[in-house]
């Protein structure tokens, strides 16, 4: 298996499955932050020390398999082109921070792209596990299994009182960051999301855009995650996040029903205008494409459009990102040329669905 296998396939295999509450929850991610006990943390360590971590993971886990997570393969960030890194970010296989690291760093990726172990990012190890739909409890159980598998060969930095030690104080304790990616178009259209954000933050949760910290919620997609881990158990964190997400799901469904009842014809007009824009535009910017794709996903979920699959929408959400556009054309594109190519790819993909 090579890096090309990760790039050529727009959406990861697990994303083609439909999990619980898939009409609103796109995915669940469990991330565990861990560090070696006898090596300085990445923000303080020099390249020699970081190389110890990288070499250890290569030696013990490269081309290894665990349960259904087959053939983990190690990729050095230094050996990747900038475009390759950008594509891995767009597929959520690595963080923007890891892509920018100029020190010794890398990532272990499973063949099904469900497990991503970032190496020497902010911590020595950031284990990520992805599942479709809302599956927080299952995700935590599976992540613990992988964590135990790693810990059998790694001496983690752990304090009896504080728990797992990490670079960022907000991760000290469990080292757990659980997040759920949600599509909330009705709550956004009605302006209710803005009113809910303060209440969500008061519960110790944080709302971000599709690419995490510092990103915007393009396409009405929001990432909801816990903010603090110290002094709380993993089960408590998962329980609280699950409760809030379930409430948001209920609110979103009620908001969708309200839009149908009170603004049905306007909602249909918005949806089919977006459909027409995607099918016939010759130039389209990323933000407009995200908005129109969000409308199409909503239309599919509400039954307004029945001959289009959510898989096609998932593919287009990834394929229309800058990295994939340039990989597709095999050239570096200016923003203007990206807008032209984005429109072309969308038209081509939708025509395949029509056939």
297 annotated as ligand-binding: no
What residues pair up with 137 in beta bridges, in sequence order? none
- Whether residue 257 is contained in a domain is answered as no
Residue 6 has pLDDT above 50, yes or no: no
Q: What is the pTM of this model?
A: 0.91
Cβ neighbours, 10 Å, residue 166: 25
Note whether 178 and 297 are same-domain residues.
no
**Average pLDDT, integer, range 121-145:** 97
181 is in an annotated binding site: yes
19 in a known ligand binding site: no
Neighbours of 318 (CB within 10 A): 18
How many domains, the chain? 2
Q: Is residue 258 part of a domain?
A: no
Which range has highest mean pLDDT (141-150, 221-230, 311-320, 329-338)? 141-150
Provide the strand spans (E) within the chain.
25-34, 64-66, 69-76, 106-109, 115-119, 125-132, 158-159, 163-164, 176-183, 205-208, 221-226
CB count in 10 Å sphere of residue 122: 19
| Domain annotation covers residue 70 | yes
State yes or no: 212 annotated in a binding site.
yes
Q: Mark which of 188, 220, 252 sits at the end of a domain.
A: 252
Q: What digits encode the pLDDT tens for the residues 332-351?
A: 899 999 999 999 999 988 88
Q: E strand or H helix at 261, and its extent?
A: helix 234-280
Residues near 204 by Cβ (< 8 Å), separated by ≥ 6?
226, 227, 228, 240
Co-location of 272 and 206 in the same domain: no
Domain end among 252, 285, 300: 252
Q: What pLDDT, on the 0 to 100 scale, is given for residue 124?
A: 97
Q: In what order do the strands lie in the sheet with 106-109?
A: 64-66, 69-76, 106-109, 115-119, 125-132, 25-34, 176-183, 221-226, 205-208
Calpha distance 345→319 (Å, rounded): 8
Indicate if 158 and 45 belong to the same structural domain: yes
Q: Is residue 259 part of a domain?
A: no
177 is in an annotated binding site: yes
Answer yes or no: is 215 a known binding residue: no
Residue 266 marked in a binding site: no
Same domain, 285 and 328: yes
Name residue 25's beta-bridge partners: 182
340 is in an annotated binding site: no
Name the maximum alpha-carbon separation found in the chain: 64
DSSP-based three-state secondary structure for 127:
strand
Q: Is 179 annotated as a binding residue?
A: yes
Do the annotations mark residue 137 as ligand-binding?
no
**Was 347 annotated as part of a binding site?**
no
Q: What is the pLDDT of residues 23-82, one digit of tens each?
A: 999 999 999 999 999 999 998 999 999 999 999 999 999 999 998 899 999 999 999 999
Question: DSSP letter at 238?
Answer: H
- Report the pLDDT value the prediction gives residue 170, as an integer from 0 to 100: 84
Asked if residue 272 and residue 153 are part of one domain, the reply reads no
Nearest residue to 292 (alpha-carbon basis) of 304, 275, 280, 314: 275
Which residues lie across from 66 on neighbouring strands? Answer: 69
Residue 309 annotated in ligand binding: no
Instruction: Establish whether 209 is an annotated binding residue.
Output: yes
| Average pLDDT for 164-175 | 90
pLDDT digits (tens, 9 = 90+) for 239-295: 999 999 999 999 999 999 999 999 989 999 999 999 999 999 999 999 999 999 999
Instruction: Give the confidence band of 232 by pLDDT, cuts at 50, 70, 90.
Output: confident
Long-range pairs of 187-194 with CB within 8 A, sequence gap ≥ 24? 187/248, 187/251, 187/252, 187/255, 188/217, 188/220, 189/255, 189/259, 190/255, 190/258, 190/259, 192/251, 192/255, 193/222
10 marked as binding residue: no
Q: Same domain for 163 and 57?
A: yes
Same domain, 155 and 74: yes
Burial class (CB in 10 A: 0-12, 13-18, 19+), 265: exposed
Residues 109 and 154 in one domain: yes
* Domain span including residue 278: 264-354
213 has binding-site annotation? yes
214 assigned ligand-binding residue: no
Are residues 144 and 198 located together in one domain of the fold? yes
In the chain, % helix, strand, coil (3-state, to 5) comes to 50, 20, 30
| pLDDT-wise least confident of 48-52, 96-100, 213-217 | 213-217
Q: What is the pLDDT of residue 109?
A: 95
| 101 is known to lie in a ligand binding site | no
CATH number of the domain enclosing 243: 3.30.590.10
Last residue of one domain, picked from the residues 197, 219, 252: 252
Q: Is 208 marked within a binding site?
A: yes
Which residues, other chains included, contact 40 with Cβ-Cβ below 8 Å and sequence gap of 6+? Answer: 46, 49
- Upper half-sphere CA count for residue 199 (Cβ side, 13 Å): 9
Mean pLDDT of 210-232: 77
Distance, CA of 6 to CA of 156 (rounded, Å): 30
């Amino acid at each position: 298996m090579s890096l090309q296998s990760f790039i050529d396939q727009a959406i990861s295999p697990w994303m083609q499955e439909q999990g619980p509450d898939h009409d609103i929850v796109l995915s669940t991610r469990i991330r565990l932050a861990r560090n070696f006990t006898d090596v300085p943390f990445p923000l303080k360590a020099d390249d020699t020390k970081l190389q110890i971590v990288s070499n250890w993971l290569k030696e013990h886990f490269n081309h290894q398999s665990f349960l259904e997570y087959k053939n983990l393969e190690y990729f050095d960030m230094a050996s990747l082109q900038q475009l390759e890194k950008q594509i891995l970010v767009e597929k959520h296989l690595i963080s923007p921070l890891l892509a920018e690291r100029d020190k010794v760093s890398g990532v272990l990726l499973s063949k099904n792209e469900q497990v991503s172990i970032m190496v020497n990012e902010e911590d020595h190890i950031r284990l990520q596990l992805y599942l479709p739909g809302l599956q927080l409890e299952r995700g935590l159980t599976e992540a613990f299994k992988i964590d135990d598998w790693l810990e059998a060969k790694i001496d983690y930095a752990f304090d009896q009182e504080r728990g797992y030690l990490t670079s960022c104080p907000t991760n000290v304790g469990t080292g757990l960051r659980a997040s759920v990616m949600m599509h909330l178009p009705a709550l956004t259209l009605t302006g209710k999301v803005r009113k809910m954000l303060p209440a969500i933050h008061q519960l110790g949760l944080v709302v971000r855009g599709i690419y995490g910290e510092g990103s915007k919620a393009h396409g009405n997609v929001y990432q909801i995650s816990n903010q603090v881990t110290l002094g709380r158990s993993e089960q408590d964190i998962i329980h609280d996040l699950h409760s809030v997400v379930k409430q948001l799901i209920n609110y979103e469904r009620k908001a969708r029903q309200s839009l149908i009842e009170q603004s049905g014809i306007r909602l249909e007009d918005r949806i089919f205008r977006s459909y027409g824009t995607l099918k016939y535009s010759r130039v389209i910017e990323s933000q407009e494409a995200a908005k129109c794709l969000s409308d199409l996903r909503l239309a599919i979920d509400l039954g307004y459009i029945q001959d289009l699959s959510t898989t096609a929408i998932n593919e287009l959400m990834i394929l229309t990102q800058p990295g994939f556009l340039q990989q597709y054309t095999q050239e570096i594109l200016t923003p203007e040329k990206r807008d032209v190519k984005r429109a072309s790819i969308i038209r081509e993909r939708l025509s395949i669905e029509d056939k």
